[in-house]
A and B are shown apart, each in its own frame.
Chain A
């Protein structure tokens, strides 16, 4: 990883802002899709694709690349935006999200779009798939790191906990899970739908190294990823506390935006707010 200068931090803030704009445009143009999750993961996706990952967008199948597995496939608009801006495919293609014949499926599909490591969407299978890749890396004596980005709601799935047991048993130090702890899901707040707390303690009891961070703070995201990478015989979970809908005032902390569609004028209103935020980041930079 390169060093984290003030300039790099600002450039990532601008990228995250741009990814949020793209998410609003993509979902609004598609007429359906999820919004709150993609918005709250903008800093995390930016940090991964523009700082943490050892990857080469021009060689998406490079055998030694770090793997980023997206478990909660429904937040793919933010991953698509990050992949496009990182150089995996043309940014113009983003507007084809969910259209007939597009490589940008409603939920991501491996093999048709560069940078997508696994097909996902049905919840709870990402940590398992990432564990399988981490196991293969160990068998092949490869040094790459496997990252799985997942959601808090997915921890209601039995499959998720099966994977958590398995990764601990096999001491998969090359596996890092990042949980978007935004505390919402389709039907309401997670703690009302099916309480997950004490969440960090559960992971610790299963034998994982646990780090809790502010999921909007680049320095914390990057430091946590570095700590995880240094672990050799234990998987790490980074519980990233986020604000659902982050960056757009009228969406923040409102669970209905998990998968709500835009009413006329709402997308424009969100884009105006994000433009203003960009101006602010830029002026601070000067």
Chain B
């Protein structure tokens, strides 16, 4: 059943569940952050509407900077602003920022410890028709390997808004990951959100497998959990929306109790959420894991839902992974 403490959307399993892309939450959150603190500034690389910075640009024109198609300059100008008391948010598609400007982010934001927030948009293959060039599936790995950098991956638009507001309040370099496609709204404004805390969304009475996910794909995990419950296979679904610093205590505690893990993410299975969970468990409580995500391959053009199925991240794939890991469980 859904964890009542998470105060999730009561209509979560309705066929017409409300949907919105996480980037919408970013757009609202950055306006909230701008209202709350006059030092919040925003920079965008010719993708203002698409990255949902338009509301901020309209409300705070003197604090919004159009950088043109120049992601390296965007990161480094933000670094200068960030060491001078400003709280800059920079946004582009994640393949370009933090993809193209990775070294600039490493040196002038992370190592330099500048108070800059990097919003990576159009992540995962659900970007769809634009194809693999625009589908960021390596960004979590790129960012979480950097010292000083935190990584937030909100699961829906409501959490995305909270994560954006929190990013402005938490001092230091932060990477925020957003998606293009609409995904179901799982949380509510009442759902507690604390950066660094993973949260149980689904809790069976006798869980046999722990499913850890992030981003909109977490909805597929909930659908899988519900179907598995009917098949008498209990699970816990954990929303791990802060990948760094990861909630290692809760992950290790649950994994030890439950004894088998499946990770799901719209990202390469190497180096992303799955990699982070594997590191935690290898150190604290070695546990069998199955990894759902991009299996060392690029995506392609197509409809988002069809891509999710083709690349093995659908509900049936999650269920199959749960059954595989159960067989490995001693």
Contacts and interface: CB of A to CB of B under 8 A. Distances in A.
Interface of A: 69, 109-111, 117-122, 124-125, 128-137, 139-140, 158-159, 162-163, 165-166, 170
Contact of B112 (A118, A128, A139): A118
Contacts of B62: 139
B12 interface: no
A166 B84 contact: no
Q: Chain B CB within 10 Å — which of A122, A129, A135, A163 has the most?
A: A129
Contacts of A133: 80-81, 83-84
Nearest to A73: B107
Nearest to B76: A128
Given A118-B108, A139-B63, A158-B72, A129 B79 contact: yes
Given A132-B78, A133-B80, A136-B81, A122 B70 contact: no
A69 B77 CA distance: 13
A139 B82 CA distance: 13
A158 B71 CA distance: 11
B113 interface: yes
A118 B103 CA distance: 15
Interface of B: 41, 62-63, 65, 67-68, 70, 72-73, 75-86, 88, 103-104, 107-108, 111-113
Contact of B80 (A111, A122, A132, A140): A132
A235 B303 CA distance: 48
A119 B112 contact: yes
A122 B82 CA distance: 19
Contacts of A122: 103-104, 107
Contact of A118 (B68, B78, B80): B80
A132 B84 contact: yes
A132 B103 contact: no
13 contacts: A109-B112, A110-B112, A117-B83, A118-B83, A119-B111, A125-B104, A130-B80, A131-B77, A132-B76, A132-B79, A139-B63, A162-B68, A166-B70
Contacts of B108: 118-120, 125, 128-129
Given A120-B107, A129-B76, A165-B73, 14 more contacts: A110-B112, A111-B112, A118-B80, A119-B111, A122-B103, A128-B76, A128-B104, A129-B108, A132-B88, A135-B81, A136-B84, A136-B85, A166-B68, A166-B73
Contacts of B76: 125, 128-129, 132, 159, 163
B73 A128 contact: yes
A134 B77 CA distance: 9
B124 to A, nearest CB: 28
B45 to A, nearest CB: 10
Contact of A139 (B41, B83, B103, B107): B41
A240 B63 CA distance: 34
Contacts of B72: 124-125, 128, 158-159, 162
Contacts of A117: 83
A87 B56 CA distance: 44
Contacts of B82: 132
Contacts of B73: 128, 159, 162-163, 165-166
Given A125-B76, A132-B79, A165 B68 contact: yes
Contacts of A130: 80
B81 A132 contact: yes
Contacts of B67: 166
A78 to B, nearest CB: 21
A190 B113 CA distance: 33
B79 A118 contact: yes
Which 7 A-B pairs rank lowest in CB-CB distance, beginning with the nearest?
A: A132-B80, A128-B76, A162-B73, A136-B84, A119-B112, A162-B70, A129-B80
B103 A110 contact: no
A172 B41 CA distance: 17
A111 B172 CA distance: 14
